[in-house]
Structures are given as C-alpha cells and as structure tokens.
Structure 1
Amino acid sequence: MASFSARLLNFWNSPTGPKTTHFWGPVANWGFVLAGLADMRKDPEYISPNMTGVMCVYSLLFMRFAWEVKPRNYLLLACHASNETVQLYQLSRWYSWSTSSAIKAADVKRVDAAPTAAASSDGKTA
C-alpha cells in the first residue's frame, strides 16, 4: 500500500491533476452549481426558463464530453451532473410557479367578468 505522500504526488503529476486544465476547469464550473443552489432561496418568478434550459443542455453536453475525453474526467462529470440536477430542479420550480400563476390569473378574470350582486335585472346598477 502506497503512503499518503506517494499517492498525493501521483495525483499531483497525473493527467487530471492540479497542474492541468482537466482539474481547474471543473473546479471553476462548480460556480454554476453554487449559484444554482443560492438561487433556490429566491422566488421562482425570477427564474429564466430560457437560461435554465440552456444550462441543462450545456451540462448534458459537457457530461458527455467528460465521459468521452481521454483520460476520463470524473471531476467534470460530477460537476455537470450536479449542475444538471440543480437546473432541472429550478426549471421544475419555475414550471410549478408559472402554471399556478396562470390558474390564479384565469380565476381573477372569471371573477372580474362575473356580474355583481348590485346589478339589477335591467342591467343598471344601484
């Protein structure tokens, strides 16, 4: 069994270690995940469904890239799988909010269109 220092040195010099973009690219991309997690505290009305959808497609594409690149980049794969999860959750929050808002707006229109109790049979109000 290799010592801790030997394993650390192997990681340091590996093709996906901290000397390469295979390491620092995914580290930087964790910012997307953190931003998505922070946005979960905000109201769903501020979620952009277009941008959230783009982030979902982006993460799917880069998960595929992380799997196919040689050597496989598991850190990038984990980062984009996490981002995909966060963005899909945000999209579901927005969808729930938008459908409930549409139902509320339709109810308000129905109430506004209903005749008032003060209206007389001839259409004149009291």
Structure 2
Amino acid sequence: MSSKIPSTAAQSLSQKLFNKENLKYVLTSHFWGPVSNFGIPVAAMIDLRNKPADTISGPMTGALIVYSAVFMKYSLAVIPKNYLLFGCHIVNEVAQLGQAFRYINYNYLEENNSKQESK
C-alpha cells in the first residue's frame, strides 16, 4: 500500500506540471523571451562581484537601467501580464543600479591611488 503512495503522488504532480495549458505556455514567446533574456541580468550579477570598477561603461549601464525600466512597464501592460519578463527586468534593474553605484563611486567619489600616481 505504501509503495503506491509515492507513485500516486508522482502521477499527480506530473499531471499538474505537464498539462495542456502549461505545455502551451512553454511553447510561447511569453516564456522563451524572458528565459533567453535572463542572460543579461545573470551576467550583470556576476560582474557585480568580478568586474573591476574601472572597466564599467557608464553610458551602457545607464542605457540598461532605462531599458529595464521600460520593459518592466511593458511586461505588465501586455495581456496576459508577463510576470516572468517583469522578474527578469527587476533583477537586471537591481544589478545595473549596483553597477552604476560602483561606476559613480570609482569615477567621482573615491580617491583613486592610480589617478594620483599618474599626476
């Protein structure tokens, strides 16, 4: 009797996950667009820790901040609302704002030894 419980639970979970509506959603651009777009925020989060502050592009970081803000609004304006795209751009917005803080801190606020040595 107890051996049937896991298989019944597995079948129930399988039926919930692999139903017609979920499979139809996975085959749309509403799913694959944000999934493929997640490369940008993942790279930005990795760069927050690994990329030296002197290599950050201020204009590109600013453009990505505006881009994510626009697409956050767009993701909630379409019907049906695309919460996966919204989440992708929230993560990117946070990462890009972190990069912008590092850029501003390095270029305008911090006294850099390398800048003083070159004078």
Q: TM-score, normalised by structure 2?
A: 0.77
Structure 1: runs of 5 or more not aligned? 113-126
Structure showing greater radius of gyration is 1
SS in 2 for 1:70: coil
- Corresponding residue pairs, total: 103
Q: What pairs up with 1:45-124 in 2 under 5 angstroms? A: 45-100=54-109, 103-104=111-112, 108=116
Structure 1 vs Structure 2 CA RMSD: 2.1
Whose helix proportion is higher, 1 or 2?
A: 2
Could you list the runs of 4 or more consecutive aligned residues of structure 1 that deviate by over 2 angstroms after TM superposition?
3-7
Q: Distance in 2 between matches of 1:92 and 1:37?
A: 13
SS in 1 for 2:38: helix
Deviations 1:29-74 (A, max 9, x none): 1000111012121111100010000001100111001001000000
Q: Distance in 2 between matches of 1:81 and 1:44?
A: 22
Correspondence for 1:11 among 14, 17, 22: 22
Structure 2: runs of 5 or more not aligned? 1-11
Q: Percent identity?
A: 38
Q: AA paired with 2:39?
A: G
Correspondence for 2:33:
25
